[in-house]
Structure 1
Amino acid sequence: MKASRLRRVFSFWPPFLFAGIRVTQISDDFRYARVELRMRWYNRNYVGTHFGGSLFSMTDPFWMILMLRRLGPDYLVWDQAGEIQFLKPGKGTVVAEFRLDDAVVDEVRGAAAGGEKVLRWFEVDVRNAEGEVVARVRKQLYVRRKRDRPAGPA
């Protein structure tokens, strides 16, 4: 699936649609993604700031998708773990930008070349309109080269 189509699919994906999360950009080469969350009555918490679950959700699939698309079909990529640190009350529109460098992809590809699993942490900041960090999210990816499957009956 092309990046532009995937971005449109995310616009109607219920977990994003009903949380007010909007994917504004995914680069054609899957090196970059930008996601925003606008403050709405339905995604505020008790004290009037962004619901923490929405802040985490807006970052959830992107490291996995970017890495999977960059490595190609010979690799398994899964989210292994995740954590979020809330640093400042989130108000207004907040943004997360994901950048996956070639060097990191090459490092992971090399580490997984022999078929062993690779666990690697990735971090993204969620920023408000002033550029201040509202939350820091870490995701650990599990990456492994797919095992050769024996040929089945012809």
Structure 2
Amino acid sequence: MKITPRRLAIGMSLWIPNLFSGIRVRRYSDDWTHATVELHVNAFTRNFVGTAFGGSMSAMTDPYFFMLVMHQLGRDYVVWDTRGEIEFVKPGRGVLTAEFHVPTEKAAELRDRARGGRKVLEWFATEITDRDGDVVARVRREVYVREKRRVTEARGGAAPAA
């Protein structure tokens, strides 16, 4: 069964860590350049003072940049989420939203930079907003990209030492 953007959005929303954390993937674009994710602040995702738990806000941003890059680059590349930073701007209440964008041009650039098995680290940024559009948090995620060794070697190149 082929993974389509719609199937992945449903699957990620039902994935146990997201399901019980109030995280819902609303959509992936058909070209894998965009994703929309929501966090529903509820009894399980609130902190002691009744606002969104910072760990839940971090979790709602965890895999989405790397997944957009991975689906655009295809199976010939290793893609990982390596680290993240979050700046909390104001208390989060209700439904929070994060939009993730990886333009095709950026994916092509990463593909070129990783050619030959080179390690590439790239930062991506998004904001978490509330229903009024106010920024609740600013988030940066670092994505690792490398062409797989078998691909580099099949091209006649020597893969860099790990």
TM-score w.r.t. length of structure 2:
0.89
Partner of 1:72: 74
Quote the residue 1:5 is aligned against. Answer: 7
Q: Which residue of 2 aligns with 1:34?
A: 36
What is the alpha-carbon distance in structure 1 between the residues aligned to residue 76 and residue 142 of structure 2? 20
Q: Among residues 48, 51, 72, which one is paired with 1:49 in the alignment? A: 51
The 2-side partners of 1:30 and 1:102 are apart by: 9
**Runs of 4+ displaced beyond 4 Å:** none
Which of 80, 85, 92 in structure 1 is aligned with 2:87? 85
Determine the structure 2 residue equivalent to 1:133: 135
Structure 2 unpaired stretches of 5+ = 155-162
Equivalent pairs: percent with the same residue? 48
Match of 1:15 in 2: 17
SS at match of 2:49: coil
Distance 1:38 1:81 in 2: 24
Question: Residues 70-90 of structure 1, C-alpha deviation per residue, up to 9 Å, x if partnerless?
Answer: 011110001111111101111
Aligned partner letter, 1:86? F
Cα distance in 2, alignment partners of residues 44 and 81 from structure 1: 24
* Partner SS, residue 41 of structure 1: coil
Provide the residue aligned with 2:111 in structure 1.
Answer: 109
What stretches of structure 1 of length at least 5 have no aligned partner? Answer: none
Q: Distance in 2 between matches of 1:114 and 1:105?
A: 16
Aligned residues: CA RMSD: 1.4
Q: Which AA in structure 1 matches 2:64?
A: F
CA deviation map 1:95-137 (0-9, x unaligned): 0011111221111111111211000001110001111110111
Quote how far apart the aligned CAs of 1:15 are: 0.7
Output the amino acid matched with 1:14: I
The one-letter amino acid paired with 1:31 is T
**SS class of match (2:69):** helix
Q: 1:6 deviation in Å? A: 0.8
Corresponding position of 1:142 = 144
Give me the TM-score of the superposition, normalised by structure 1: 0.93
